C-alpha cells in the first residue's frame, strides 16, 4: 500500500478524539462573533495574529485572551455547535471534550447553566453520528481548593455525559501531592481521572501522577522519553498518553524536551513511545489555536514513519482507551449504531 492509499484509508475510517479543549477550538470567525457580542470589533486576521506563539507562556496568554469572550451560556453553545460540526467533517464518531470549569469558576460563571446550553446545542449531532462526552477540567495553578469545586460541579450536574475529571494548566506550579485528596473525591464520585503532565515538566511529573493520583490517562507525557523506567511503568500499567504533536510543536514543548532551539514534527517521539508498548492516542489539544485537525495529526504521524498497522493501532487506541463502557470501546460499535 502506498502512503497516499494509507492516508486515504485513515480519512475513511471512523475515529475518536480524546484530548480536545472546547475553549481551544475557537476558530477566528467564531472569535469575531463572540467578540461582537461583547461589543468588541475584531477581524479574523487579528485573531490569527494572536494565534501565533513561540513558547507555552505566549500560548497561555492567547488562550486567556480569546476565552475572555466566552461570557454567556449562549456563547458556549455557539462554540460547542461549531466544534461538533468540525468533528463530524473529520469522520469523528466519538469525542471526549475537555471543558475548563476551573476558568468558569474563576470568572464567576455558572458551570451548570453553561453546560446545559452545551448539551442542548450538541444533542442534535448524535442523530448525525457524533457522540460527545465531557471532561470537567481544573487549572493546576489555581490550587486544590478550586480543583475540588470542579469535582463538586461535576457531581452536581448529574449528567452521564460527564465522564471524567482532569487538571490542566502549568504543571510546574503547585506540588502534585496537594491534589491527592481532590482525585480521591473524584474517584469516589465515579469519575475517571486524568491530568496534563510531562508536557513542559519532566518525567517525574508523570510518575507522580500515576503513583500519587491514580490517573488513568495522561495529557501529552512526552517527557517520558527521559526516563526508561517511567516508560516501562506506563507500558506495564496500560496508561495511555494523549499525544498532540502539532500542539507540542507550536508551544515549544517538543523543542524544550529535546533540548533544541527548535524542532520539527518528524522529531516527535510518538513512534518511539508507541513501539515501546505505551498506549498512545492521537489528539489535537487546541485545534483552532494550533491550526490543526485530527486528520492532519494522522498525516503527521505517517510522516514520522509509522506503518499502516501502527496507524491502525492509533485509531483502535482512540476507542480502547476512551472512557466509554467497555462493550462500546471499538469502532465497530459505532459502525453498527
Identify which of 148, 221, 223 has the alpha carbon closest to the alpha carbon of residue 178: 148
Identify which of 287, 292, 337, 282 has the alpha carbon closest to the alpha carbon of residue 313: 282
Can you give the CATH number for the domain in which 314 is found? 3.20.20.140
Please count the other Cβ atoms lying within 10 Å of the Cβ belonging to residue 122: 22
pLDDT in tens, 309-328: 999 999 999 999 999 988 88
Structural domain count, the chain: 1
SS3 of 72, please? Answer: coil
Mean predicted confidence (pLDDT) in 289-301: 96
SS3 of 270, please? Answer: helix
The answer to whether the predicted template modeling score (pTM) of the entire model surpasses 0.75 is: yes
Checking if the pLDDT of 44 tops 50, the result is yes
pLDDT in tens, 146-182: 999 999 999 999 899 999 999 999 999 999 999 999 9
- What is the gyration radius of the CA atoms in the chain, in angstroms? 19
Task: Extract the C-alpha cell encoding 264.
Answer: 520539527
What are the Cα distances from residue 49, in Å, to 52, 54, 62? 6, 12, 10
pLDDT in tens, 195-247: 999 999 999 999 999 999 999 999 999 999 999 999 999 999 999 999 999 99
Checking if the pLDDT of 2 tops 50, the result is no
* Domain, as residue range, for 10: 3-336
DSSP character at residue 285:
B
Report residue 332's pLDDT band, with 50, 70 and 90 as the boundaries: confident
The backbone torsions φ and ψ at residue 270, rounded to the nearest 5 degrees and listed phi first, read -50, -50
DSSP character at residue 252:
S
Checking if the pLDDT of 3 tops 60, the result is no
Please count the other Cβ atoms lying within 10 Å of the Cβ belonging to residue 62: 18
Query: Rounded to an integer, what distance in angstroms lies between the CA atom of residue 162 and that of residue 276?
Result: 32
Mean predicted confidence (pLDDT) in 116-144: 96
Whole-number pLDDT of residue 329: 84
Give me the active site residues, please.
Answer: 199
Helix (H) or strand (E) holding 241: strand 240-243
Query: Rounded to an integer, what distance in angstroms lies between the CA atom of residue 24 and that of residue 63?
Result: 7
Mean predicted confidence (pLDDT) in 284-310: 96
Half-sphere exposure of 135 (CA within 13 A, CB side): 30
Whole-number pLDDT of residue 54: 84
Q: What residues does 135 pair with on adjacent strands?
A: 98, 164
The backbone torsions φ and ψ at residue 265, rounded to the nearest 5 degrees and listed phi first, read -60, -30
Q: Which long-range contacts (CB under 8 A, 24 or more apart) does 28-33 make?
A: 28/288, 30/78, 30/79, 30/82, 30/288, 31/66, 31/69, 33/78
pLDDT in tens, 76-102: 999 999 999 999 999 999 999 999 999
Checking if the pLDDT of 143 tops 70, the result is yes
Whole-number pLDDT of residue 9: 54
Amino acid at each position: 500500500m502506498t502512503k497516499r492509499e494509507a492516508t486515504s484509508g485513515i480519512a475513511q475510517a471512523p475515529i475518536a478524539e480524546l484530548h480536545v479543549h472546547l475553549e481551544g477550538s475557537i476558530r477566528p470567525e467564531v472569535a469575531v462573533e463572540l467578540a461582537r457580542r461583547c461589543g468588541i470589533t475584531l477581524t479574523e486576521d487579528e485573531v490569527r495574529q494572536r494565534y501565533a506563539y513561540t513558547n507555552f507562556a505566549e500560548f497561555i496568554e492567547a488562550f486567556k485572551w480569546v476565552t475572555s469572550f466566552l461570557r454567556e451560556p449562549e456563547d458556549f453553545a455557539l462554540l460547542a455547535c461549531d466544534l461538533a460540526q468540525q468533528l463530524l467533517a473529520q469522520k469523528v464518531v466519538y469525542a471526549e471534550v475537555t471543558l475548563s470549569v476551573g476558568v468558569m469558576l474563576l470568572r464567576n460563571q455558572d458551570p451548570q447553566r453553561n453546560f446545559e446550553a452545551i448539551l442542548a446545542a450538541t444533542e442534535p449531532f448524535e442523530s448525525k453520528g457524533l457522540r460527545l462526552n465531557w471532561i470537567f477540567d481544573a487549572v493546576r495553578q489555581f490550587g486544590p481548593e478550586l480543583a475540588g469545586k470542579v469535582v463538586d460541579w461535576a457531581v452536581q450536574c448529574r449528567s452521564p455525559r460527564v465522564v471524567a475529571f482532569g487538571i490542566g494548566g502549568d504543571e510546574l506550579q503547585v506540588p502534585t501531592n496537594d491534589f491527592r485528596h481532590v482525585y480521591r473525591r473524584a474517584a469516589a464520585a465515579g469519575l475517571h481521572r486524568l491530568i496534563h503532565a510531562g508536557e513542559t515538566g519532566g518525567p517525574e511529573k508523570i510518575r507522580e501522577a500515576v503513583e500519587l493520583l491514580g490517573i488513568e490517562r495522561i495529557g501529552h507525557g512526552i517527557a517520558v522519553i527521559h526516563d526508561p523506567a517511567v516508560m516501562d511503568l506506563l507500558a506495564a500499567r496500560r496508561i495511555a498518553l494523549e499525544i498532540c504533536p502539532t500542539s507540542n510543536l507550536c508551544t515549544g514543548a517538543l523543542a524544550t524536551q529535546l533540548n533544541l532551539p527548535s524542532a520539527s514534527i518528524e522529531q516527535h517521539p510518538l513512534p518511539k513511545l508507541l513501539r515501546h508498548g505505551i498506549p498512545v492516542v492521537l489528539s489535537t489539544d487546541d485545534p483552532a489555536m494550533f491550526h490543526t485537525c485530527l486528520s492532519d495529526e494522522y498525516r503527521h504521524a505517517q510522516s514520522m514513519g509509522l506503518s499502516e498497522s501502527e496507524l491502525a493501532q492509533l485509531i483502535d487506541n482512540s476507542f480502547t482507551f476512551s472512557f466509554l463502557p467497555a462493550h462500546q470501546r471499538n469502532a465497530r460499535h459505532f459502525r453498527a449504531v
